[in-house]
Chains A and B, each alone.
Chain A
């Protein structure tokens, strides 16, 4: 009798666990109204008031050394936008490599941005320390992009190459590879260039465009005036890279915002 009772219990359990719950099959759902849109950031690489032209144009730094630029690349990461109500939109997987030589790289499109009026932006020049110690990465962070030091792991956060008659290096070269993600010589900089009272208004009909000027002249100006006779080759983290990073921490400014 006991056995029979046990079997009944077991069967009951089995049946109960097999019973299919009635599923609410919704009628064709109406798509929810969109609440997010897009926002574009356009980078304009310049030297003072001159548009950057690779190789052919000659510029002058704050030390009066003339120079040309053959490569100009930098990482922009961890982009955040602040709305007028104080809420913050954080782009996910926010890693972008801006390369003067690749036109398409100079316009970023952020999607999934909640509708609203944005009054501020913040981002990092470089790649946050976490991604420097997290192994194989893809997309903008793919080491095949040539922005990763194989012999001393870490990203080259910004790279400027060119020539200057003032440089005593081979072929008067300038090779400035800015890196170092930890300790006192970290070159990582988080910037918040001002919107100067303007707003970027994300809505169902408007994809605003923030035009950011990146000024190479700032690399060599202040607080430390850079002479290419003494500073021409940087290929590892350290005090020299940190000094230039302290200079370029104000290289970005918001030119204007299209709405």
Chain B
């Protein structure tokens, strides 16, 4: 009897231990291929929550391979990673515009990629309505990858590497558009950037001590920038004409290209200020190489026009000291933990 009781005791204790073995208060160091949804403290709920696309390490890995896969382009020379480079928060370093295949050029600057799950739309004109169908735009655009999806599927189906990757991710080798796009959405959706000095400051964490200059810059930002570049994502995702002169070579009507509404002419989506010091050049066509050029524009370069954002009619004036302070604050928005995150490196 005593023996039986002891067995019961052992079973009970064992069950208790196994259910309590992970203390939720202690966050383990993330392994290289950890993937989990993140909603940083104080942020709104994301738009995309991986509904109908359950996260798995194998799907994330497949997405990573696809992101760096040049076979997505017609002549097998360009991948997503060609124009979205890891070391500059997935913007395109030193490129106002990016080159597609056959020496062609696009008309818009390649933006950084992070916190995409909060996007209410994609592209400078908001033409794409869902993270999962976003890759279709660059893949099929004649001045970018210029490829037909059926060719992409055929190329990947003929590649032994992908047979294995799709099997690991989905249970069989079949390469489909839906699987491709959902895996890419997992890879891109994991690009969370929320560990800049500013974030550490907001959370009261170690490393988040802002100096007087940065704090003054933060206050200037709140007075003069925050109505469009709204915290915590540092964009309100709205479309605005910020008064930059129309580029006569590109004749880009912006949001109106999608809506055909004259009231949307020359409006583009507010870009985030997060990682701004990494993502030069600036503006929808990459015309400004430095933050000073951007601030010069807001000080004295705003072009009046019927769709100009009303808030910018008198521009934004800053003294030399204020400009230094604001730039000091913008520097605190760089998230090195994100840029150095090994999960996003080209695996090959």
Residue of A nearest to B48 (CB): A135
Q: Is B318 among interface residues, defined by CB-CB distance under 8 A?
A: no
Contact B178 A136 (CB under 8 A): yes
> By the criterion CB–CB under 8 Å, are A8 and B5 in contact?
yes
Is the beta-carbon distance between A238 and B260 smaller than 8 angstroms? yes
B140 touching A135, Cβ below 8 Å: no
Closest to B151 in A: A144
Sorted nearest first, the 8 A-B pairs with minimum C-beta distance are A135-B132, A136-B181, A11-B8, A144-B149, A153-B129, A136-B132, A150-B136, A138-B178
A64 to chain B, nearest CB (A): 30
Query: Is B150 a contact partner of A144 (Cβ separation < 8 A)?
Result: yes
Interface residues of B in 7-63 (CB under 8 A from A): 8-9, 11-12, 52-53
User: In whole angstroms, what is the CA distance A150 to B145 when docked?
Assistant: 13
- The answer, yes or no, to whether A205 is at the interface (CB within 8 Å) is no
Q: Does B167 contact A (CB under 8 A)?
A: no
Give A139-152 as 1s and 0s: 1 = Cβ < 8 Å from B's Cβ atoms.
Answer: 00011100010111
Q: Which of A126-142 contact B (CB under 8 A)?
A: 132-138, 142
Assess the A136–B4 pair: CB atoms within 8 A: no
Tell me whether B137 is interfacial, beta carbon within 8 Å. yes
Which residues in A have their C-beta under 8 angstroms from that of B132? 135-136
Instruction: Kindly state the separation between the CA atoms of A238 and B258 in the bound complex, as whole angstroms.
Output: 10
A74 to B5, CA, bound (A): 72
A8-43 CB mask vs B (1 if < 8 Å, else 0) is: 101100100000000000000000000000000000
Extra contacts, 10 of them, besides A7-B9, A143-B149 (Cβ < 8 A), are A138-B176, A142-B178, A144-B149, A144-B150, A148-B133, A150-B136, A150-B139, A151-B127, A151-B137, A238-B260
> Can you show 9 pairs from A to B with CB atoms below 8 A apart?
A4-B5, A10-B9, A14-B11, A135-B182, A138-B176, A143-B133, A151-B137, A153-B128, A153-B129
Q: Footprint of B on A, CB under 8 Å?
A: 4, 7-8, 10-11, 14, 132-138, 142-144, 148, 150-154, 236, 238
B339 at interface (Cβ–Cβ under 8 A)? no
Is the Cβ of B137 less than 8 Å from the Cβ of A143? no
Once A7-B5, A135-B133, A238-B260 are accepted as A-B contacts, the answer to whether A150 and B176 lie under 8 Å apart by CB is: no
Q: Which residues of B contact A133 (CB under 8 A)?
A: 129-130
B89 interfacial by beta-carbon distance below 8 Å: no
Residues of chain B touching chain A, judged by Cβ–Cβ distance below 8 Å, are 4-5, 8-9, 11-12, 52-53, 123, 127-133, 136-137, 139-141, 148-150, 153, 176-178, 180-182, 185, 258, 260
Task: Give the chain A neighbours of B131 by CB distance below 8 A.
Answer: 135
Residues of B within 8 A of A150 (CB): 128, 133, 136-137, 139-141
Q: Is B181 a contact of A135 with CB atoms below 8 Å?
A: yes
CB distance from A148 to the nearest CB of B (A): 7
By the criterion CB–CB under 8 Å, are B176 and A152 in contact? no
CB distance from B19 to the nearest CB of A (A): 15
A-side contacts of B153, CB under 8 Å? 144
Q: Which of B128, B139, B140, B185 contacts A136 (CB 8 A)?
A: B185
A142–B132 Cα gap in the complex (Å)?
A: 12
Q: For A153, what are the chain B residues with a Cβ–Cβ distance below 8 Å?
A: 127-130, 133
* A contact residues around B178 at 8 Å (CB): 136-138, 142
Chain A residues within an 8 Å CB radius of B148: 144
Partner of B177, one of A8, A143, A152: A143
CA distance A8 to B6 in the complex (A): 10
Provide the bound-state CA to CA distance between A7 and B2, in Å.
10
Q: Which residues of A contact B11 (CB under 8 A)?
A: 14
Q: Which of B4, B129, B141, B176 contacts A11 (CB 8 A)?
A: B4
Are A10 and B133 closer than 8 Å at their CB atoms?
no
A184 CA to B133 CA, complexed, in Å: 24
**Contact residues in B for A134 (Cβ distance below 8 Å):** 52, 130
For the complex, what is the distance from the CA of A148 to the CA of B53, rounded to whole Å? 21
Q: In whole Å, how far is B130's beta carbon from the nearest beta carbon of chain A?
A: 4
Closest chain B residue to A240, Cβ basis: B260
Which residues on the A side are within 8 Å of B182 (C-beta)?
A: 135-136
Contact residues in B for A14 (Cβ distance below 8 Å): 8, 11-12
- Report the nearest B residue to A135, measured CB to CB: B132
Taking A136-B181, A152-B258, A153-B130 as contacts, is the C-beta distance between A10 and B136 under 8 angstroms?
no
